[in-house]
Structures are given as structure tokens and as C-alpha cells.
Structure 1
Amino acid sequence: MMDVGMIVSHIGTVGGIFLACALGMPVPEEITLLSAGVLVSAKQLPLCLAVIPGLAGIFMSDTILFFLGRRLGPRVFRLPLLRSVLTAERVRWAESRIHRNGPLACFVGRFLPGLRVVIFTTSGALGIKPRVFLAVDAAAAVIVVSLWVAAGLWMGSNFIDATRHAEEIKTVMIFVAVLILVINGSRRLLTRNGRERS
């Protein structure tokens, strides 16, 4: 049985990693959740230490973005750390979706890696009620964490004998991470080229 202090320490550490990923650390949060699921399958991490910190980190990061928008209003779009993400084109797109769909746009935004930052900050700036945003985001976060951790569990239990093939686990995790980074990079390049042509 794990010591309570150790559990709290693990939750804090893993939660911090998820928070950093969700706020823009180079490794996407999806990779972190997938990796956590693989570790659970390998019996290297209890399920609760994959799910609870994941939920906490993601929910905290989304809340920070929302309240930044709510507090600063349109000024949030000029913050140095967010300026490259909150382009005028993306903000206009987010505003139109939020005006049209309200809370549903916030819910869907949790599933859109390239646009969630724009949607959450714009939601705050446009005055979406905090309790509505928090409820919708919490529901979406539960789905996201459950799906990605479950995918990691499935990978670990069906394709890898996790306790005997540590190198294979590492290779698979690196491959998936590189694949997602390449996809994200290609999408950004295509978006940038499209803007330059227009």
C-alpha cells in the first residue's frame, strides 16, 4: 500500500507536468496522458495517479486561460506569451463560434489542440459566465483524460509486454510523440503558408 505522502507527492509532480503541457510545453498533453496509460498498464503507476493529476492539471490550465481573458479582456490578445497563438484570424474565428454556439464552443474547444487556447481566452474576454465555462470544461476534461489514458492502457496491454520490454515502450512513446509533433508542425506550416498567400 502506497504511503499517503508519496501519493500526494506523485499527484503534485504529475499534475504539474500536465499543467505545463496544457499551457504550451513542447510535449502535447495528449502524449503525457497516453504515456500515463502505458505506465498504468505496466503497473508502474496507479490508475488514480494517472487520472487525478491529469484532470487537475488540464482543468487548472484551462481555468487560467479563461480568467486571463476575463480579467484582461481584449488586452489578453496582445500578451507576449500568447500573441503568436492568438492571431487576429484565430480570434475572429473563435468569436464567431462562441457567439453562435456559446458553451458548446468551449466544450468542443477542449478537443482541438491547436485552438483550445484561443477559444478559452476568447470565451473569458467575451464574458461567458465562469460557472458555465467551468462546468462545461470539467465535463470535457473527464472525457479527454479517460479516452487518452484508456488508449495508453490498450496499447500497453495489447501490443507490449510492458514489464519485459522497456525499450519497446520507450520507442513506441517516442514514435507517437514525434508523429504528433510532425502533424502539429505541418498544420502550422500550412496555416502560415495560407496566410502568406492570402
Structure 2
Amino acid sequence: MQNIGEWGVGLFTLLETVFPPIPSEIVLPLAGFLSQQGDLNLVLVIVTSTVGAYLGALLLYFLGAKLGLERSIRGLSKLPLVDRSDFEKAADWFGRHGRSAVFFGRLIPGVRSLISLPAGAARMNLLTFSIFTVAGSALWNTLLISLGAALGTQYNLIEQYSRYLNYAVYVAIAGVVVWLVVRRIRRNRLPAD
């Protein structure tokens, strides 16, 4: 994280927006922690992560607008570790809540990355989409980065247990990947209706 810097954090956030299995819940608190240690600029980390989230959301918005919802879902659900039902849930949420789903969707894991597709397919006003996306993303990113920075004040405690914390992070990442793979295999084995 120190090597990629603030703009690398923005790139990770862009990738997390487009490819949901990359967890912002791990990347952003770590960036906040490093900013507390003086390795990264806190304000720039918040700005770049929000810009990255917005650019990723725009990419999905335009994909939804260009291809339509069904074709977008069909194509993107073929990505590894991504499931069609995740896209369908985001589309359903957008259908029930309209444009407010874009703002509040940025605060909900699983919906955060995917809500842009139905917004684009519905041709939501781009300025409104942009304002809600930037506001929701900035709020979420600031929260996660600030939590990581707050942990930075407990450096001695973290340093003492960092080896165990590393193991816990590795186990959590492996668990998420295994869960996504198992879910994908189970869905592929279900008979078609």
C-alpha cells in the first residue's frame, strides 16, 4: 500500500467498484492507518478513493446505458466470483427506491458496486447520478479511511498483535473467495427452470 500511494488507492477503489470481489473494507482502512502513520496523505486518500469509485461507477453506468440492463447483467455475471443474482438484487433495489438507491446503495456492500448498471439502463439523469454517487462514495470512503486512521493512534497495540491481525485478514480474504467460489459452483449445478 505504501508503494502504490494515494493514486494507487484510487485505482484499487475503481477496480473494487467494477469488480465487487475486491473488498474496500480492507483496502480503505489500511490506507487510513498508513495515513495516520504519515505514509499517505489522509485528504488525498479520501479524494482519490472517491474519484476512483466515481470513475468505476461511471463505467458501469455507461455500460448499462449502452447495452441495457439484461445484456449488461448477462455479460458481467460471467466474470469469476460474480453471480447474476447480485446484479438482479441491485436492479431490484434500484427499481424499488429509484434515484435515492444510488446514494444509499453506495453505503451497502454488494449493492455499492452494482447499482450503477440499473441507473444507466434507466437513463437516470447523469448530473443527479454523479452527485449522488460522489456524495455516497465520499461518505463511505471517509468512514472506512477514518476508522483506519483511528486505529493508527493505537500503533503500539496494533504492532504487538499485527502478526495475528495479518493472519486474520488472510483468513477473511480466503473465506470470502471460497464462499464466492462455492456459491458459483452451487448455482451452476442447479437445474435450469
Q: Deviations over 1:117-174 (max 9, x none)?
A: 332212211222212211111110111111001110111113x239x94x85575356
SS at match of 1:116: coil
**In the alignment, what sits opposite 2:172?**
179
SS at match of 1:14: helix
Aligned residues: 185
Match of 1:119 among 89, 94, 115: 115
RMSD: 3.2
SS at match of 2:113: helix
Q: Do structure 1's residue 144 and structure 2's residue 140 form an aligned pair?
A: yes
CA-CA distance at 1:177 after TM superposition:
5.7
The CA distance in 1 between the partners of 2:99 and 2:18, in whole Å, is 21
The CA distance in 2 between the partners of 1:157 and 1:186, in whole Å, is 33
The CA distance in 1 between the partners of 2:33 and 2:166, in whole Å, is 9
The CA distance in 2 between the partners of 1:58 and 1:181, in whole Å, is 24
CA-CA distance at 1:19 after TM superposition:
1.6
**In the alignment, what sits opposite 2:130?**
134
Q: Tell me whether 110-119 or 142-151 shows the greater mean CA deviation.
A: 110-119
Unaligned runs of 5+ in 1: 1-8
**In the alignment, what sits opposite 2:59?**
64
Unaligned runs of 5+ in 2: none
Amino acid at match of 1:112: I
Amino acid at match of 2:26: I
The aligned runs of 1:28-177 (5 Å cut-off) are 28-73=23-68, 74-79=70-75, 81-84=76-79, 85=82, 87=84, 89-158=85-154, 160-161=155-156, 165=159, 168-169=161-162, 172=165, 175-176=168-169
The CA distance in 2 between the partners of 1:128 and 1:43, in whole Å, is 41
Q: TM-score, normalised by structure 2?
A: 0.76
CA-CA distance at 1:29 after TM superposition:
1.9
Q: TM-score, normalised by structure 1?
A: 0.74
Q: Tell me whether 187-196 or 16-25 shows the greater mean CA deviation.
A: 187-196
CA contact 1:102–1:128 (8 Å) conserved in 2: no
Identity of matched residues, %: 25
**In the alignment, what sits opposite 1:20?**
15
Amino acid at match of 2:15: A
